[in-house]
Amino acid sequence: MSKSRPFRHLAHIASFREQPVVFFTVVMHARRPLLATDFAHQLLHSLWERSGDLNGWFVGDYLLMPDHVHFFARPAPEADAMRRWVKMWKSVSARKLMQAAHLTAPVWQEEYFDRFLRSDESYEEKWWYVRNNPVRAGLVTDADAWPYRGRVFDLDVKKTG
């Protein structure tokens, strides 16, 4: 892991706002339904909460589905490489999920989907898609009722919902 960086409040610094927001989708190996639990939710939230200081990556809004996670993140100007950061939190979370649920590796699919967003409208459009995912999947009838979502940091991007 990288040494700690003094970036905790970068969302209020102009150079941070100029960094691109990245939309991620990361899927469980064999689409195992491991994520829609309080344990997985707390685990990922706590890892992402520390990743700003440790790796220079700040996670904004996220939503856990049973077999995948969608989230938005913004790197600090001197952040770790994206692949290194994703590998780190996937590795730590995999070990803890395997221990808690007595699983065997692999836990996550090796690859992941990432897309750099180009505008505030792209963020809002993606967020509306993400927040309604549990409704489309028949898990809840109202998106606000889905308990496995949240925000770690304000990425300083305008959105509604």
Treating both helix axes as pointing N-terminal to C-terminal, what angle do 38-55 and 82-101 enclose, rounded to 10 degrees?
150
- pLDDT of 17 reads 57
Q: What is the mean pLDDT of the chain?
A: 88
pTM for this model (two decimals): 0.86
- Statement: residue 70 has pLDDT above 70: yes
C-alpha 151/C-alpha 49 separation (Å) is: 10
Helices (H), the chain: 14-17, 38-55, 82-101, 120-131, 133-136
In the prediction, which pLDDT does 160 show? Answer: 47
Going along the chain from its start, the domains and CATH numbers come out as 11-151 (3.30.70.1290)
Could you tell me if 108 and 25 are in contact, meaning their C-beta atoms sit under 8 angstroms apart?
Answer: no
Give the lowest-confidence range in 3-17, 56-70, 137-151.
3-17
**Residues 59, 152 contacting (CB under 8 angstroms):** yes
Mean pLDDT of 44-62: 97
